[in-house]
Amino acid sequence: MPSPSANPVRVALIGAGDISEQHLTALAKIDGATVVGLADINEPGMHARAEAHGISRDQCFTDAQKMLDAVKPDAVSVCTPNALHGPNTLAALEAGAHVIVEKPMAMNAVEAKAMIDTAKKNDRKLVIGFQFRYDPRTAFVVAQREAGVLGDLRFGRVWALRRRGIPNWGVFGRKDLQGGGPMIDIGVHSLEACHYAMGAPKPVAAVGMTDTYLGNREDATKIENMWPNWDWKTYTVEDLAIGHIRFDNGAVIHIESSFAAHHEHTTTTMDFQLMGTKGGVKWADPQLFTDLNGYMLDARPAYIRKFQWNDYFVAKLTNFIHHVRDDQPTNAPAQHGLMVQQMLDAIYQSADNGGAEIAID
C-alpha cells in the first residue's frame, strides 16, 4: 500500500490569523497532508505566517477566490472571523474542495443549513472544527455513557467562564463579525463537547439571557487583566450569557458563559458535568459518581492523557484528513455543527425577546 505522503491531501487555509498558526503547526505533523495555499486580506501578516511555515509567496493570495482558482486545493480550512465562515465555506465547496471550518460553524443556523446543502450539492465533505470531542477526557465520559454506567442522561451542566478575558486581538467584540460574544466564542467549545458526550440529542427549545456591563467601558480596560486594552469602542457583544436548552429525549443542558464573570477563578474555566439516572460524571478533572454495592462511590481514572494545546488541532485535522482521503467517519459532522448553531441562535433570540422560550425545528 502506498504511503499517505506519496499522495497527500492538498490543503489551503483561508484566514492566516492567530488560529491558523495552530492549523499550520498541526498540518506539518500529519502524514498525508500538505499545505498548498494561504489567503488573507492582511498581506504582511499572511507573509509572516507563510515564512514561518515554509510557504512560498506565490502560494499566498489576498483574495480567497483567486487562491481557490489558482491552487485548486483538495481541502480547505476556514480560519476567518465567524461572519466569513459561511461565504468562504460556500466558495471552497463550489470550487470542489472539502472543508473544515473553525468553530462556530457559522453566524446562524440559516447559514449553517446553506453550507450543508452546498456540500451535498457538490458531493464534498464538510466538517466542523470542534475539538474538545477529541480530548481523552471526553473519551472517558463517552465510555461511561456507552457502557450504561450513567443510565439515562437527564442533565448537562456546562460552563465557559473567564473572570476577565475579552480578546484584545481580532474582532471578537464585534457582533456584526462574530454573531455574539462569549456564548458563541467560548461557550461553543464546552457546549459541543457536552452535547457530543450526551450522544448528540436533538434540541427542541431554549431560553436565554445576555448582558453587557463591562466590555464597552473604557475605565474597565484599565483594570489589571491578562488581555488589557481591548477595543471597548467597538464592543457590541454580551459579557455574560446564560442558556437553558431542552432536548427531544427530555434531557436539559444549562450553560453559563462569560468574558467577564465576577467569580473566584482567574483562569478560563471550560467544563461540563453530566447527571444521569444511575451515575454522573465530571469532565475537566474527570470523576465518576455512582452507587456500588450499597454505597455512593466517587471514582477517578488513575491515568488519562493530557492534551497540550496543539494536540487538539492535530487530532481534529487528522480526523478530517482521514475522512477526506480514506472515507473514515468524522467525529464532527456538519449536522452536529448545525444543532449547536440552533442552540446558540435560540439562546440569543430568547435573550432578545425577554427570555421567551424559542422553539427549535
Ligand X SMILES: NC(=O)c1ccc[n+]([C@@H]2O[C@H](COP(=O)([O-])OP(=O)(O)OC[C@H]3O[C@@H](n4cnc5c(N)ncnc54)[C@H](O)[C@@H]3O)[C@@H](O)[C@H]2O)c1
Residue showing cell 453530566 = 274
Q: Which stretch in 78-86, 246-254, 267-275, 298-306 sits in contact with ligand X by CB under 6 A?
A: 78-86
**Whole-number Å distance between alpha carbons of 105 and 325:** 22
Does 187 bind ligand X (CB under 6 A)? Our answer is: no
The Cβ-side half-sphere exposure at 152, using a 13 Å CA radius, reads 6
Q: Which of 9, 12, 16, 91 binds ligand X (CB under 6 A)?
A: 16
List the one residue from 4, 32, 136, 170 that touches ligand X (CB under 6 A): 170
C-alpha cell read off for 210: 445576555
Query: 427530555: which residue's cell?
Result: 250
Cell 446553506 locates to: 114
Q: How far is the CB of 222 from ligand X (least distance, A)?
A: 24
In whole angstroms, what is the distance from residue 242 CA to residue 172 CA? 18
Residue nearest to ligand X (CB): 17
Please give the Cα distance from 31 to 149 (Å, whole number).
37
Could you give the C-alpha distances from 317 to 99, 196, 350, in angstroms and in order?
11, 18, 34
Any contact of residue 18 with ligand X (CB under 6 A)?
Answer: yes
Q: Nearer Cβ to ligand X, position 145 or 316?
A: 316
Q: Is 129 in the site for ligand X (CB under 6 A)?
A: yes
* Strand 33-39 versus strand 9-14 pairing type: parallel
CB count within 10 Å of CB 81 equals: 18
Please, what is the end-to-end C-alpha distance for the chain in angstroms? 46
Residues 32-61 that bind ligand X (CB under 6 A): 39-42, 45
| Nearest alpha-carbon partner for 10 in 74, 97, 98, 91 | 74
269 vs 290, beta carbon nearer ligand X: 269
Site for ligand X contains 19 (CB under 6 A): yes
Decide: is 79 part of the binding site for ligand X (CB under 6 A): yes
Rounded to whole angstroms, the Cα distance separating 345 from 263 reads: 26
CB of 54 to ligand X, least distance (A): 19
Stretch that binds ligand X, among 11-19, 139-147, 202-210, 215-223 (CB under 6 A): 11-19
Stretch that binds ligand X, among 25-33, 75-83, 193-201, 275-283 (CB under 6 A): 75-83
Q: Is 80 in the site for ligand X (CB under 6 A)?
A: yes
Among 8, 11, 17, 208, binds ligand X (CB under 6 A): 17
Please give the Cα distance from 165 to 168 (Å, whole number).
9
Could you say which residues in the range 223-282 bind ligand X, by CB under 6 A?
A: none
Site string for ligand X, 92-111 (x = CB under 6 A): ----------xx--------
Query: Are 341 and 112 spatial neighbours (Cβ–Cβ below 8 Å)?
Result: yes
Q: Give the interface with ligand X as residue ranges (CB under 6 A).
A: 14-19, 39-42, 45, 64, 79-82, 84, 102-103, 129, 131, 169-170, 185
